[in-house]
């Protein structure tokens, strides 16, 4: 059975919005870029190398299509472009990025996708999608790169929906730059 692995950059106050800079109009966009280092970069390379597919929400997919197709010629860019990409959207009419497929029904189609042959399916960003995946118990691993910064508000990964979800710590690592990587497995 394939695993859906969610990976997120997240602040101490739980915000996942605009980690790189201009993805959204957040006044503190770019908070993640101040903490880049070779160690965390290698973690992201290893993470992508272990994936056989990407799963993205519509907004993240549209941001990625504006960037990654032009990043050919390096390992990370080539890998992003060649992997199968599954895009969850009810409104997207077509997915033109190489090897992209649209998924309309999160619970039904992703449960079926997990039963197919293949390896891990990696979810980048896509906070709205991740909330739905958590709700439907489709997340097999949750990886949080917690940054030592608070941005005072924005899009959060966990809403105040009073839904209880429990996780077991698989691994924790502290990077030289103060970023903590927490890898969790859901308790079902």
Would you place residue 24 in the very low, low, confident or very high pLDDT band (cuts 50, 70, 90)?
confident
pLDDT tens sequence across 75-100:
999 999 999 999 999 999 999 999 99
CATH of domain 4-178: 3.40.430.10
d(CA 26, CA 30): 9
**Mean pLDDT, all residues of the chain:** 95
């Amino acid at each position: 059975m394939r695993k859906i692995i969610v990976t997120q950059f997240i602040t101490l106050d739980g915000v996942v919005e605009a980690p790189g800079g201009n993805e959204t109009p957040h006044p503190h966009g770019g908070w993640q870029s101040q903490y880049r280092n070779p160690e965390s970069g290698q973690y992201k390379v290893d993470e992508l190398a272990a994936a056989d597919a990407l799963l993205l929400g519509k907004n993240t997919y549209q941001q990625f299509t504006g960037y990654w197709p032009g990043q050919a010629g390096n390992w990370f860019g080539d890998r992003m472009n060649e992997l199968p990409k599954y895009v969850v959207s009810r409104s997207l009419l077509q997915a033109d990025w190489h090897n992209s497929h649209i998924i309309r029904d999160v619970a039904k189609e992703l449960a079926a996708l997990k039963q197919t042959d293949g390896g891990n399916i990696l979810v980048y960003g896509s906070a709205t999608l991740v909330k739905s995946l958590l709700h439907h118990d489709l997340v097999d691993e949750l990886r949080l790169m917690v940054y030592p910064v608070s941005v005072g508000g924005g899009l959060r990964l966990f809403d105040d929906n009073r839904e209880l979800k429990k996780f077991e710590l698989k691994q924790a690592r502290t990077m030289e730059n103060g970023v903590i990587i927490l890898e969790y497995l859901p308790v079902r």
